Amino acid sequence: MLYKIATTISHRKKQAILLFLDLSLVVVAFFGSEALLSSAASTPFAPFARLEFLIAGFCAAAASILHLGLHRMKLNAYEAQGMTDTVLVAGAVGAACGLTNFVAETPMRFAEILVVSASYLILMMASRLMLLRLVRWIWSTGSAETRVLIYGAGQTGRQLAAALATDTAVFPVAFVDDNPRLQSLTIAGLRVHSPVQIAELVERNGVDRIVLAMPSVGRHAQMRIQRKLQDIGCEVQSLPSFADLVAEGGESSRKPAIDLAGLMGRNRLEEELPGVSEAYVDRSILVTGAGGSIGSELCRQLTLCDPAKIVLIDHSELALYNILKELKDIAPNLPVVPILGSVCQAELVRDVLSQHDIDIVLHAAAYKHVPLVQMNAIEGVRNNVLGTKTVAEESGRAGVERFILVSSDKAVRPTSIMGATKRMAEQVVQDLATRSKHTRFSMVRFGNVMGSSGSVIPLFEEQISRGGPVTVTDRRVTRFFMTVSEAVRLVLLAGSFARGGDVFVLDMGEPVPILNVARQMIEGAGYSVRDENNPDGEIEIQLTGLRPGEKLHEELLIGSDMLTTPHTKILRADESHLSEIEMAKALNELRATITDRDPKKCNEILRRWVEVDPKLAEVVTTDA
């Protein structure tokens, strides 16, 4: 009944009710003040003795309310805008009483005028706030809005509560904050609770969504909180600060809304892939390249597997610091050991494996940016081939239980130095697997990982945020796509399936045209594509031509023979590789080219020992 009345009453009637209420309170304030002062002075109560002051105050209140439009102000906006206007109206009432003193036979003392003004101010504010509470209660009981719990009662949380106070579709029920000094307080009309009460608040208030309104704590801390809340039974979202939203440039900084499933041409596989925690429980695990896109996600997912220890190796101090800090936030009780150094340092790798009694090695360290490796072939070979040789060989000597190499679809009939080095790294691992008595060597091959460093998605995002153009090498180019979490789950599953020398490949569906990805990202960001069919579009797609070493279409298999695994989405490739003697000769030749700093010779050797595409690009020297 109340909900129906509140939603059907007209604006004019609402304004008339508020105006009548405000003017009625002038009379209440005068009579109440007179009664209070008479009682204090032990004098008879004479309510109409100063009728001229009441009339003056009434007229002043009416004039100021109409001038300021206080009766037209929505209740939802009163807390943010109306209180100052209320003070002005109360001041106008007091001023009218003061001016009336010049013509009245019995003047009002200053203290009496002050009491009348203060009483009117308190009554006006109290009545508006009570009405606001009543309206909010009516809306909360009668409408089907989304009910949210705000995690964080700081500046961003208060701004969010104030914004939602004027929204009828979303209803904030309470604050949650880790700060004990804020708990039990009422801020912006909402009670602040402790995080331990979240489950109770969600159940009692029918909360649909928890909003993390504390951008200052950083993404990693928010991620830790989201993990804690994942079993609560409602959606959890993070909110950037309003200042950041403005500082990022408003409309020009709209972020692309990317439909990952649409880009990949299939449903996400995260829910289809089985759990992998059993294979890593109570194991000491070494992750190389731990600060990179794949390495860091490996570390995040491993924290959910209850390992005994995670050891991180990375040659980037900043990347190593960032992943270490994040892991400490996500899993504060998990032993995490950061090792700053290169996988090419045999003595370092040997010492780490021995000192930390490593059971499993996940080798993700690699240079993978195709044009950069094309221009730095020597360092690409050193890191991707000899670095893999060092880590794999030392793992075998140390008796590591499992070694998993993270590879790439660019290793299949490569047209680039980077792809050739990854294929050579695969052959290094395959060769060691044939002679290993204790360590099970395997490798995982997959396509482009969305959002990883050097991938096309972040590049397109940056180009769109600048207003374009978006650059695509060739309109015919296609790529396989997967999310980083899917890629990492595949790597971890490979570790549990491995028998020795395996090449695991994920069924990634059909390759996706990059031109379609660019178009979808532009339109997903709210822009239109400018082309010959739409010359008035906002962002243009430019074709730049294939770069040295790039393919039109990537492949995942060298041969056609595929074997099954315990999961239908994961296949095992049966591929040939170099013999032990051939591998030793190839590695010796590559070491010689590194010593001589001869990138062209390096290219020739890779052509000789790797099944490359006839279009394998020549190296590009840094002098070019």
Q: Which residue do the tokens 């395996």 mark?
A: 502
pLDDT value, residue 251: 45
Tens of pLDDT along 294-352? 899 899 989 888 899 999 999 999 999 999 999 998 888 999 999 999 999 999 999 99
Question: In this predicted model, what pLDDT tens digit does every residue of 436-447 receive, in sequence order?
Answer: 888 999 888 877
pLDDT of residue 254: 47
What's the confidence (pLDDT) of residue 453? 59
State the chain's mean pLDDT as an integer: 80
**Of 27 and 391, which is predicted with more confidence?**
391
Our CA angle for 183, 185, 191, nearest 5°, is: 90
| Contact present, 34 and 46 (Cβ < 8 Å) | yes
Cα 53 from Cα 395, distance rounded (Å): 95
Does residue 228 carry a catalytic annotation? no
Give which of 475, 456, 469, 463 is closest to 539, Cα–Cα. 469
**DSSP secondary structure of 386-404:** IHHHHHHHHHHHTT-SEEE
Q: With the C-alpha atoms ordered 417, 423, 429, 431, is the resulting torsion angle positive or negative?
A: negative
Of the ranges 212-216, 514-518, 549-553, 573-577, the best mean pLDDT one = 514-518
What six digits make up the tokens of 564?
A: 């099954």
Distance CA 277, CA 223 (A): 20
pLDDT digits (tens, 9 = 90+) for 508-566: 667 778 888 888 888 877 788 888 888 888 889 988 887 766 667 666 555 556 666 65
What confidence score (pLDDT) does residue 478 get? 79
What pLDDT was estimated at residue 454?
59
Report the C-alpha gap between 274 and 373 in whole angstroms.
35
Q: Which of 368, 410, 422, 601 is catalytic?
A: 410
Q: What is the pLDDT of residues 115-139, one digit of tens each?
A: 888 888 888 888 877 877 776 666 5
- Class of residue 279 by CB neighbours under 10 A (exposed 0-12, middle 13-18, buried 19+): middle
Q: Is the pLDDT of residue 75 over 80?
A: no
pLDDT reported for residue 183: 87
Q: Mark out the alpha helices in 266-416 (DSSP H runs).
A: 293-302, 317-330, 346-355, 370-375, 377-381, 387-397
Q: What is the pLDDT of residue 81?
A: 62
Q: How far apart are CA 482 and CA 265, in angstroms?
A: 10
Structural domains for the chain: 2-140 (no CATH), 144-247 (3.40.50.720), 267-609 (3.40.50.720)
The pLDDT-based confidence of 450 (bands split at 50, 70, 90) is: low
Instruction: Provide mean pLDDT across the span 10-28.
Output: 82
Q: Does residue 275 carry a pLDDT above 60?
A: no
Per-residue pLDDT at 142 exceeds 60: no
pLDDT tens for 163-190 read 776 666 678 889 999 888 888 888 877 8
Under the banding of pLDDT at 50, 70 and 90, the label for residue 404 is: very high
Placement of tokens 């000192």 in the chain: 355
